[in-house]
Amino acid sequence: MTDSNYKNQMELATIIETYSGQDGAHATAIPSLFFLRRSQVTELTHSIYKPRICIIVQGAKEVFLAQERFRYGPRDYLVVSVDLPVSGQVTEASPEVPYLALHLEFTPSQILEVINDFKIQVGKNENAKRGMFVSPIESPMLDALIRLARLLDNPNDIPALAPLYTKEILYRVLQGPHGGSLEQIAIERSSTHLIKDIIEQIMNNYDRSLRIEELAEIANMSVSSLHRHFKEVTAMSPIQFQKQLRLQKARQLLLSESTDAADVAFRVGYESPSQFSREYSRMFGFPPIEDIKRLRENYEETINA
């Protein structure tokens, strides 16, 4: 790591500490920018990642997409180009040196705007590419991130300057080694763009029976092409993707509402409560009721610590 990169990351760490103050995820006055702080290593957690750039300035993390592992730390950044169900855990953190990170959300329309504004030469429609990647972070991107984060000290400048700095950051990603993967998500009728539409269709109808033929018709692909491209982007089949969505939604419902597992199973689309319980246990490591009890007890211990 160069001296300038180290200096920028230390400044980012100070900003994140200033605007976080305690463990957790924290929204900022910049709508697309979020800070994260953890003072200890975490267990595996499950969530849906929206399109985002993730930068760690202290500590380390690993994220799993299906069976693929993505490890990254202060020398790297992680990009998610489509909505993806993932699991992840902070692997390096302590009270003395907490895990500090930020993520910057973006949309395909922002990517297309950068491509058009900077006249970036886009490659031909290629086979769909993985919707998540890790790249080494370079000084120009850190410089732009610092300028974006500093706006929190001057909130009146945010409406005018935050979009410009965000555009510069996206430009740097597009110029990086995996920029082609991000380009394709914004190009209408590209394989990756079509799979993005199918992902949205599944997410909006996760509790309904999934007909692969119907999805293939929406994407104007054969069933075999849909399976191939979908797995290339998400590392899983449409059915596996839907299952992860259902189980994550079920866990959220069990945590937020006083209801029984069988009721939740039907609400997220399962016809068999016993099948739901088996698949829930396989994904989260515990049966539904035991898992929720454990999560609530851990939360209480954290609050009272």
Q: Which of 171, 186, 201 is the last residue of a domain?
A: 186
Q: What is the pLDDT of residues 235-272, one digit of tens each?
A: 999 999 999 999 999 999 999 886 789 999 999 999 99
Q: What is the pLDDT of residues 7-22, one digit of tens each?
A: 889 999 999 999 998 9
Give the bridge partners for 48, in sequence order.
Answer: 85
Residue 66 amino acid letter:
A
DSSP 15: H
C-alpha 188/C-alpha 184 separation (Å) is: 8
182: in domain: yes
254 and 173 fall within a common domain: no
Q: What per-residue confidence (pLDDT) applies to 17?
A: 97
Domains held by the chain: number: 2
The whole-number average pLDDT for the span 272-284 is 96
Q: What per-residue confidence (pLDDT) applies to 121?
A: 81
Listing DSSP states for 81-101 in one string gives: -S-EEEEEEEEE--SSS-EEE
195: in domain: no
26: helix, strand or coil: strand
CATH number at residue 9: 2.60.120.10
The whole-number average pLDDT for the span 140-155 is 97
Q: What per-residue confidence (pLDDT) applies to 299?
A: 57
Q: What per-residue confidence (pLDDT) applies to 123?
A: 67
180 and 116 fall within a common domain: yes
The whole-number average pLDDT for the span 65-87 is 96
166 and 253 fall within a common domain: no
149: in domain: yes
pLDDT, mean over the chain:
92
Range of the domain at 66: 3-186
* Residue 101 CB neighbour total at 10 angstroms: 26
Report the predicted TM-score, pTM, of the whole model to 2 decimal places: 0.92
35: in domain: yes
44: in domain: yes
Q: Which one, of 112, 89, 85, lies nearest residue 99 by Cα?
A: 89
CA distances from 250 to 44, 54, 169, 271, 298 (A): 17, 26, 36, 14, 19
The whole-number average pLDDT for the span 58-67 is 97
The whole-number average pLDDT for the span 45-59 is 96
Q: What per-residue confidence (pLDDT) applies to 303?
A: 33
Given a cut of 90, is residue 197 above it in pLDDT? Answer: yes
